[in-house]
Amino acid sequence: MKKRMTAVMAGVCMAAVVAFAGCAPKEIENDYVKITGYKGIEVDNVEKTKVTDADVDTQIENMRQSYATYTDVTDRAVQDGDTVTIDYSGKKDGVAFEGGTAQDQQLEIGSGTFIDGFEEGIIGHKTGESFDLNLTFPDNYRNEELSGQPVVFSVTLKKIQQKNLPEVNDDFVTMVKGEKTTVSEYKKEIKEMLELKAESDYQSAKQSAIEKTLMENVEVKKYPEKKVEEYTEMMKSQYQQIADAMQVEYADVIQQYTGMDEKTFETELDKQIKDVIKRQEALDLIAKEEGVSVSDKDIDQWLKDYAALNQISVEDLKSQNTDEEIKSNVQREETVNWLWDNAKIKKDDK
């Protein structure tokens, strides 16, 4: 009986060992990185935005607004929606305050650009009139000295313009597109574009969620020096091209575009490039280990979608990247999808 109990316990212990071994994180490595766990990692949940007809209508309206024309108004007072040109001076306790004075300021009534009561106070006045507006800044105003304080704005109304919006019809969308198009066709194109963007944003959100956890399990053994040099030279050359085009010094461009001096910029650039390479090496290693592959059809679809989303041609996109770079980008996206499908997604708290 004792021997039987011993055998049973031995079996239990062996099963436990096997079970624990099976649950242990899988470790993989190559010359550059070591990953101590990637399948079943816990990540925050993300949702893809659902594109609605209202979203399409908003895009159409934004386009319509961009083609607005304006007509000078001389025979009536200001109405909501008009654009006015004004001079104004703001005073607190009889003293002008900083940022409260302007000349020839254009303002669309109803835009909510100014504090409550300012735009409403202009409605009903006519060109050439001067008047005072007794107002109070909101309690949470960014300037603490003005927050919650009563002020007086002296306003002179110099011009009134009425906004004229084009009718959304086939002629309008044909003009926008530059080729014969119907409204229904244009709405379909917009919806497809919004859905492409929603998918792209979803992919980016998944990648961020995956990499946030995955990178904690990635140890860099060494960086591929050639790739670091290549990426560094590519980024520096872009700024040098800007400097050449503007006929200014490279360091001045760095300061203007990044707010850093040249030495600080190069330190930060090196860090960012190495972070990118760390992610790339990790995803490439996982793809190789798990057999994540992409077909020519996958690559063609990626090219088509990426080009459409960024409003360039597939030919231009291909000319700017090698076939290997394009394939690597597509494969890394598929690897992120594989990691997502095999991850433990945290439930949203309701």
Q: Which CATH number fits the domain that encloses residue 154?
A: 3.10.50.40
Do 105 and 120 meet the contact criterion of CB atoms below 8 Å apart?
Answer: no
Domain boundary among 138, 164, 190: 164
350 is a domain residue: no
Say if 290 falls within a structural domain: yes
How far is Cα 172 from Cα 166, in angstroms, rounded to an integer? 7
pLDDT digits (tens, 9 = 90+) for 147-171: 999 999 999 999 999 999 999 999 9
What's 204's domain CATH number?
A: 1.10.3120.10
> At which of 164, 191, 223 does a domain end?
164
Range of the structural domain that residue 230 is part of: 28-51+178-345
Does 226 lie in the same domain as 135? no
> Which positions ≥6 away from 326 have C-beta within 8 Å?
299, 302, 303, 317, 318
Q: 256-259 contacts: CB < 8 A, separation 24 or more?
A: none
96, part of any domain: yes
Q: 182 with 312, same domain? A: yes
Q: Is residue 225 located within the same domain as residue 90?
A: no
Residue 59 is assigned to a structural domain of this protein: no
Confidence (pLDDT) at 4: 42
Name residue, tokens 């990635």: 218
Give the tens place of pLDDT for each residue, 5-17.
Answer: 444 434 434 433 3
pLDDT, position 86: 98
Same domain, residue pair 253 and 330:
yes
Residue 21 CB-density burial (10 A; 0-12 exposed, 13-18 middle, 19+ buried): exposed
Q: Report yes or no on 58 lying in a domain.
A: no
Is residue 270 included in any domain, yes or no?
yes
**347 phi and psi angles, rounded to 5 deg:** -75, 140
**Cβ distance 137 to 148 under 8 Å?**
yes
| Residue 13 maps to a domain | no
Q: Give the whole-angstrom CA distance, residue 273 versus residue 279.
A: 10
Is 169 part of any domain?
A: no
17-26, 41-50, 167-176, 260-269: segment of lowest average pLDDT: 17-26
Residues 209 and 321 in one domain: yes
Say how many domains are in the chain.
2
Asked whether the beta carbons of 86 and 157 are under 8 A apart, the reply is yes
**Shared domain check, 156 and 210:** no
Q: With a cut of 80, say whether residue 45 has pLDDT above it.
A: yes
What confidence category does residue 3 fall into, taking pLDDT thresholds of 50, 70 and 90? Answer: very low
pLDDT in tens, 262-289: 999 999 999 999 999 999 999 999 999 9
Listed residues 164, 197, 220: the one ending a domain: 164
Across residues 76-105, what is the average pLDDT?
Answer: 96
pTM of the predicted model, to two decimals? 0.75
115 with 196, same domain: the answer is no
Exposure letters 284-305 (e unless 16+ CB within 10 A, then b): bbbbebbebebeeeebeebbee
> What's the Cα-to-Cα distance from 308 to each of 52, 195, 214, rounded to whole Å?
20, 11, 30
